[in-house]
Amino acid sequence: MRKRIVALYIGIAVLVSMFALVPAYTQEDIMSLEDDAFMDRQRPAAVFNHDQHNEKAEIEECNVCHHIYEGGKWVEDESSEGQGCSDCHNVEEGHPTRPLMKAYHDLCKQCHLDNDKGPVTCGECHPKQ
């Protein structure tokens, strides 16, 4: 009888833990900037919560990040939402992810530096697990 009670308490503790922890790790809460072009990563993808970031940074227009350039000039009223960054920031022979990595760093890191807000070091954006 005593073993059943102990097993019941353990089962309840496990269920309570699952319900308490699972919501903290849902896709809506934690996102990362993944791109299939990065096959051999030295660090994990940058952790990025889209909605929280845009709210905190007061970004209202999607094309600030999801931009389109034609002839080297930014097209102000168009957005690349739904496209992968590597669709435009093509890979290059010998350095397959350099243009894509440069695009992320130029946009994200430079914005953080310009606004004196947000992470700028490798480990801040790409924390090793």
Q: Please say whether the beta carbons of 86 and 37 come within 8 A.
A: yes
Segment 59-111, tens digit of pLDDT: 999 998 999 988 888 898 899 888 888 888 876 666 656 788 888 889 999 99
N residues, the chain:
129
Residue spans of the domains in the chain: they are 1-29, 31-125
Tell me if 37 sits within 8 A of 91, measured CB to CB.
yes
d(CA 25, CA 83): 25
- Is residue 6 pLDDT above 90, yes or no? no
- The topology (CATH level 3) of 31-125 is Cytochrome C3 (3.90.10)
What are the start-end ranges of the H helices in 1-129?
2-21, 50-57, 85-88, 98-104, 110-115, 122-125
Mean pLDDT, the chain, whole residue set: 79
pLDDT at site 110 = 92
Q: In one letter, which amino acid is 7?
A: A
- What is the value of pTM for the model shown? 0.63
